[in-house]
A and B are shown apart, each in its own frame.
Chain A
């Protein structure tokens, strides 16, 4: 299928609108160009966040001060957290691949509100800029961690206001993206695409949209309360004025736990697409996949208390949150089961995106099981605030969302750019990245279990061996990352031209040329069968 040869309409990359140069991008309301704006901004901030992480690991290579003092370390993990959570993994898959592919996968020409889509990117950039300003203005960078826990967040002399308000603006950007996707999916599916004929990636974006919409305002108001607390001394969370810091934690995690599902649900969607495409087989248990996505989004609202098991709650609350935490793992397990079953008796094509999906399942399962350990009350008391927690959420957030992000990048790269990347280097990069990842975060489970607390620049001599391994892993991981990114960028120029369907995928994006034309479809397709129509 070399359909692009016959089509006169220019691709979205070549299209000339009324603006020139960079303005053709930053004033564009085309969902595909906005997706790339997000991609390049997110990759930039990911690079900054990863470099901060690397420097922290170098600091931890030996006890005592290695390359930075305690205060710099506090500032580093704070900025690392804010950037990685609010500016990388939360917008990551929805804003990049969701923006690019959602309209195409449901047979639409754009999202429902293209201008609001562009506005959300501007809000994103504004939010990150505010966070960056907080590093250089005032009396020093924020040092509270990305959680801005009260009462420290309004007592520290660090420059909190721009950082907190920046996170608020980033939340607003996230709300607008979610809102846009929800309306798009409700109103703009191609004729014949009933709900249960919709591919799974749009389904996960749908569930994510609801979480973005219904959870983000809670952190919005909480962050505004912190702003008010610092400027007006209202006393919402200040014990000396009658406020309750624990209430802050409740409000914060009411958003920030569902936010974990904003990160992981689209990742699961992308993995579902990759696995079915490379197994050349219909996804196993499509309806269960849809139901489990919705179940995760729903139950995910009611588990926030498991971040606060040691903060002080009633016994009933503890049991309830622990039970719900175990329940939310069930739909995730269903998804893993269905992915494996999809491969069973499929004709598997071993390509880079498929390897990424395999790596995803592996690290996601370790992350998930360690989450169950943390979700059990007795173990949590021992492991709370140790490196075990750090290992757990990096396995989920970096291992889950990050691996899915790179998997999606290698899966849809030919569609987005019209070129194929060098597969050998892509695979080498993946292997190095994977080895680095396990070496970096694996020992943290052990260190945490032995009692090494998180968020200290220093540690006892007994933790030295594990930290050396972990820090070495960070260097390997960073090299793997560099190979992957350089390979993709080099392929933009040198890669072979990709045809419209290099992997034999069945969803709608593979029926249009690579790169897609400005209007996506010459004629809106009529859908007559399910999304994964393999024989």
Chain B
């Protein structure tokens, strides 16, 4: 009902808002990183051994997938700036496919653990000791929350792709695409921290 709301447009404000929101996301995961640090410090041996069981191959593959998807969404923004709608759509589409590929890998990875009776609350896991319980608890919770962010990011990019198709996002009005790109980079960046913490530091 407020006319000011519809006519007022300030791209810098929208981007500032997105950056501030990203701060909150970093702090959300920051709390988990604190918890991870504390329990790794207290259970060095168990975390060491448990980390060895994760598949570095799938982890690396997923890292490459996400890094590539970050590149494609950034290129999609450049494409729309150059008024190349078709290329922007293709690149945004590739980003969505890569995001889905990440989730598929994650599904198989989690599936493997669950088949081996390793999940929070499982009695098999409980028998392996408190360090393993905490490691896998954190693993499932943190990668799960991250996967949820991937899904949110994908929905966001999907909506934005629809807007490009309907010419709601154009070469002179693309802040929504930029913001979804920012969000996607954040999701990528959090993974860059999760990957070494769970897969590489053994």
Contact = CB atoms under 8 A, between A and B. Distances in A.
Interface string A316-357: 000000000000000000000000000000000000000000
Contacts of A224: 145
Interface stretch (B12-20, B51-59, B159-167): B12-20
Nearest to B131: A242
Contact of A241 (B30, B31, B34, B134): B134
A5 interface: no
A227 B20 CA distance: 26
A110 B5 contact: yes
Interface in A173-194: 175, 179-180, 182-183, 186-188
Given A187-B10, A187-B12, A235 B130 contact: yes
Nearest to A30: B2
B130 A241 contact: yes
A109 interface: yes
A30 B130 contact: no
Contacts of A221: 27-29, 31-32
A46 interface: no
Contact of A222 (B8, B17, B31, B133): B31
* Interface of B: prevailing SS: helix
Nearest to A236: B35
A58 to B, nearest CB: 40
Interface residues of A, number: 49
B108 interface: no
A380 interface: no
Contacts of B12: 187
A518 B3 CA distance: 9
Interface in A101-129: 109-110, 112-116
A432 interface: no
Given A110-B2, A242-B131, A243-B134, A234 B120 contact: yes
Interface string A20-31: 000010011110
Given A183-B20, A519-B4, A242 B30 contact: no
A244 interface: yes
B107 interface: no
Interface stretch (A212-220, A265-273, A281-289, A364-372): A212-220
B94 to A, nearest CB: 30
Contact of A112 (B10, B39, B134, B138): B10
Contact of A30 (B1, B16, B24, B126): B1
A27 B20 CA distance: 26
A136 interface: no
Contact of B24 (A183, A217, A235): A217
A244 B137 contact: no
B81 interface: no
Contacts of B13: 112-113, 183, 186-188
A233 interface: yes
B38 A241 contact: no
Contact of A187 (B2, B16, B133, B137): B16
A527 to B, nearest CB: 19
Interface in A86-114: 109-110, 112-114
A218 B8 contact: no
B1 A109 contact: no
B1 A217 contact: no
Contacts of B133: 234-235, 241-242
B120 A233 contact: yes
A113 B27 CA distance: 22
B130 A242 contact: yes
Contact of B17 (A112, A188, A254): A112
Contacts of A24: 1
A478 to B, nearest CB: 38
Interface of B: 1-5, 8, 10, 12-14, 16-17, 20-21, 23-25, 27-32, 34-35, 38-39, 42-43, 120-121, 126, 129-131, 133-134, 137-138, 140-141, 145
9 contacts: A27-B1, A109-B8, A110-B5, A112-B10, A179-B17, A220-B31, A234-B121, A234-B138, A519-B3
Q: Which 6 A-B pairs have the closest CB atoms?
A: A242-B130, A17-B1, A234-B137, A221-B31, A217-B27, A114-B5
Given A110-B5, A180-B17, A182-B20, 16 more contacts: A18-B1, A19-B1, A30-B2, A110-B2, A114-B2, A115-B5, A179-B17, A179-B21, A221-B27, A221-B31, A225-B31, A233-B120, A233-B121, A235-B133, A236-B134, A247-B38
